[in-house]
Structures are given as C-alpha cells and as structure tokens.
Amino acid sequence: MALIPYTAADGIYVKLSPWSQTYLEWADQQGLTPENLEKFQDPDNDQMSNALEMFVGGNPLKAEAHLHPVPGLVEIEGLRYLTLSFYQAYHALNSDLGEEFEKSVDLQIWKKAELISHSSLQGPAACRYYQTLRMTTPITGNPRTFLRISFQELPSDG
C-alpha cells in the first residue's frame, strides 16, 4: 500500500493506494536490459540515474529534462530558505528504494537535510505529483548550501 497525498478545496488529504512497484518490476516494465539495469546507471544520458527516473516517473531510455529536481529559494518573514521541487511518481511511494534528502556546504560531505513540505500539487493524469520541500533552517548568513536526493535499497520485509 502507498500513501497518496492530494489537495481538495477544503484541505490536504492522504489516501491509500495498493499501487507500488519494486525497482526490478519497474525496470522490466521500462525495457531496461542487463547492460543498463543498475540503479545508478543513466542509459539516456540525461543526468538522472535509473533510481531517480523511477522516483520522478520518468523514462530511463528517453531524456526528459523537465523532470529534473529544481532547487530554489523562498523568503519567509525576511529569512531565506533553500527549496527543492520535484515530481514523485505514485508507484515509487512504497517501492524498495528509499530516498533521502541531503545537504552540503562544499559538495564533498553530505548530511541529512531537515525539510518540510512547502507546497504540493496532485497530477493524477500523469500518475505523479509535484511537491516543493524547504529546509527548516534559513540559509540567511550561510548562502552556500546545496540540496540533493539520494537513494538506497531498503531491506526486504521477508
């Protein structure tokens, strides 16, 4: 089961969906072969690994630049916060790949980033939604901060 967030006129809700896929199920459906099956390969050379393609609902064999996560800034009460906006495919919400959001000040050492939801839009026709997360601490006074999404294989239940 996967939790699917959606927004209605009177609030934000979550519903359960039985739709989820393992990485290998998704890779098979996408037509990946043993030569390009690894999670961190990029067969279409669009700078998105297969794991990220699964996460955003992309096609790992066709470059789709519009699906890249987008960094940004938001100002709240005079303080600036780094944001990361991205698509997330519903089938990836309960997959065997776990995503983690990380921050760095030097692009060498990455640590877990504390993020909260800033906004979310549902896109049911495309089987994915678009969300923006923002850091919980402002970057004001420390503007050299970077965010990324990393992936790791989750332990199986069985």
Tell me if residue 65 falls in helix, strand or coil.
helix
CA separation (Å) from 18 to 5, 21, 53, 119?
A: 14, 10, 21, 24
Q: Look at residue 132 and tell me if it is in a domain.
A: yes
Q: Look at residue 44 and tell me if it is in a domain.
A: yes
Instruction: Determine how β-strand 79-89 pairs with β-strand 2-8.
Output: unpaired
Q: What is the mean pLDDT of residues 16-34?
A: 82
Q: What is the number of structural domains in the chain? A: 1
Q: How far is CA 92 from the centre of its chain?
A: 9
Phi, psi of 53 (to 5 degrees): -60, -45
Residues 97-152: tens digit of each pLDDT: 888 999 999 999 999 999 999 888 876 556 788 899 999 999 877 768 999 999 88
**Is 116:60 a contact under the CB 8 Å cutoff?**
no
Residues 68-104: tens digit of each pLDDT: 999 999 999 999 999 999 998 888 877 888 889 999 9
pLDDT at residue 43 greater than cutoff 60: yes
Q: Look at residue 36 and tell me if it is in a domain.
A: yes
Q: Look at residue 143 and tell me if it is in a domain.
A: yes
CA proximity to 26, closest of 47, 68, 48, 57: 57
Q: Residue 63: which domain range?
A: 2-153
Q: Look at residue 158 and tell me if it is in a domain.
A: no
Model's pTM, two decimal places?
A: 0.80
Q: Look at residue 40 and tell me if it is in a domain.
A: yes
Distance CA(130)–CA(93), nearest Å, equals 13
Residue 1, pLDDT score: 44
Q: Look at residue 70 and tell me if it is in a domain.
A: yes
